[in-house]
């Protein structure tokens, strides 16, 4: 899907609670040991280039989070590879920081759009709008951001409910 | 193919590897032993004493077939063990089927696995850190190195007979696309991935 920067300033779904604001926190699930190396560090492959380029890299908007929904999603995703997804992780990222990364042309590399789904109104997607050949480098920036504030899903939910 | 005197199967992490997995590095030493078993000890000690550590480490980007025949058995054993572990991890990805991570997720392309194995065999893992091996939803086999968040290398095999990588070497970035699989990783990257 081809998006341009202006798309994130326009509501993308009739179900959307509104465009994703810079000050919003978005969440992304990950799994250990699938996405975590032997030193406990998040691997770049946790972020699919294909998702960034064409399918959208799914995130949850914390402001509109349905805890039951994300818990079910986490269980479903973990059940696909039970041996590789023994622990569910979650990262929190500020939308503004995702949008701050630049491509080789010094233009915004990622957009965050509000593509709410019927079953998940908090759904948003990150797309890489730079040239495809930059996707590997750019996903490493996103990987660093994702790794900055990553914890177990159980810890996050406990904190969220406090 | 260089023949070993007594072909054996290697069993590591529950996976059996055929004798032809044994690398050139190992078989050269076997051949050397076969031709001059006693002379080799004296000769090897003399040669090792004459070669500085720096000179030995300068081979860190060499392929297995280029490794000098002075490496001792302990290093050989470690090399075999580590390279076979990496190959085992790569081959384990072949078990994934289309849809392994939901719709549109692809099983690895057979050639991507073969390319990754060929590439792994070119690296002297007795001196280079081993990568974290993973499969991506587009079927790419990925090698990931992360040394204390200072040295990071993200290298992928898409089954085209080539590899691409992004490296962040203490803040200096390198992005390289479509390098033919028989060309080793750049010496700059290899130097940064060296075990201390």
DSSP code string of A104-134:
TTSSB-EEEE---BTTBTTEEEEEE-S-GGG
The answer to whether A50 contacts B164, with C-beta atoms less than 8 Å apart, is no
> Contact B146/A45, CB-based, under 8 Å?
no
pTM (two decimals)? 0.78
Q: What tens digit of pLDDT does each residue of B87-135 get?
A: 999 999 999 999 999 888 999 999 999 999 999 999 988 889 999 999 9
Give the separation between CA A65 and CA A62, rounded to whole angstroms: 5
Instruction: Write the pLDDT tens digit of every residue in B165-186.
Output: 999 999 999 999 999 999 999 9
Both tokens of residue B95?
């078990």
Comparing A74 with B51, which gets the higher pLDDT? Answer: A74
Give the ranges where chain A is alpha helix by DSSP (H): 49-50, 67-80, 95-100, 135-148, 153-161
Beta pairing partners, A29 = A90
What residue spans define the domains of chain A?
5-161
Contacts of A134 in chain B (CB under 8 A): 175
How many Å apart are CA B127 and CA B138, to the nearest integer? 31
Q: Does residue B141 carry a pLDDT above 60? A: yes
Interchain CB contact of A41 with B (< 8 Å): yes
User: What's the pLDDT band for B18 if we cut at 50, 70, 90?
Assistant: very low
Determine the distance in angstroms separating the CA of B167 from the nearest CA of chain A, rounded to an integer: 8
- Comparing B120 with B67, which gets the higher pLDDT? B120
Q: Which two tokens stand for residue A104?
A: 């080789």
Contact A51 B137 (CB under 8 A): yes
d(CA B26, CA A143): 38
Task: Report, as an integer, the average pLDDT of A94-98.
Answer: 98
Rounded to two decimals, the ipTM of the complex is 0.94
C-alpha Rg value of chain B to the nearest Å: 18
CB contact under 8 A, A48 and B138: yes
What is the C-alpha separation between B90 and B80, in angstroms, rounded?
Answer: 15
């Amino acid at each position: 899907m081809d998006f341009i920067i202006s798309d994130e300033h326009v509501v993308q779904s009739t179900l959307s609670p509104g465009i994703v604001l810079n000050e919003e926190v978005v969440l992304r699930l990950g799994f250990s040991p699938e996405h975590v190396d032997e030193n406990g560090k998040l691997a770049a492959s946790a972020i699919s280039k294909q998702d960034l380029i064409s399918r959208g890299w799914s995130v949850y908007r914390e402001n509109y989070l349905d805890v039951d929904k994300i818990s079910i999603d986490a269980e479903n995703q973990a059940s696909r590879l039970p041996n590789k997804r023994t622990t569910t992780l979650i990262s929190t990222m500020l939308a503004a920081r995702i949008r701050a990364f630049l491509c080789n042309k010094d233009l915004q590399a990622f957009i965050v759009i509000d593509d709410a789904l019927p079953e998940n109104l908090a759904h948003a997607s990150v797309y890489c709008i730079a040239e495809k050949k930059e996707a590997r480098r750019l996903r490493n920036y996103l990987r660093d951001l994702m790794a900055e504030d990553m914890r177990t899903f159980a810890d996050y939910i406990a904190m969220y409910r406090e | 193919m260089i023949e070993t005197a007594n072909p054996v199967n290697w069993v590591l992490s529950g996976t059996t590897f055929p004798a032809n997995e044994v690398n050139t590095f190992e078989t050269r030493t076997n051949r050397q032993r076969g031709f001059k078993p006693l002379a080799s000890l004296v000769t090897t000690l003399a040669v090792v004493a004459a070669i500085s550590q720096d000179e030995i480490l300068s081979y860190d980007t060499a392929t297995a077939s280029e490794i000098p025949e002075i490496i001792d058995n302990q290093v050989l054993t470690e090399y075999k063990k580590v390279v076979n572990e990496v190959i085992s991890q790569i081959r384990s990805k072949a078990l994934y089927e289309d849809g392994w991570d939901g719709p549109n997720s692809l099983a690895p392309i057979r050639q991507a696995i073969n390319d990754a194995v060929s590439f792994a065999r070119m690296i002297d893992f007795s001196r280079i850190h081993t990568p974290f091996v993973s499969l991506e939803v587009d079927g790419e086999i990925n090698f990931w190195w992360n040394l204390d968040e200072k040295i990071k290398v993200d290298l992928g095999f898409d089954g085209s007979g080539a590899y691409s990588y992004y490296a962040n070497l203490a803040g200096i970035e390198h992005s390289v696309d479509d390098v033919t699989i028989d060309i080793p990783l750049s010496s700059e990257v290899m130097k940064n991935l060296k075990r201390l």
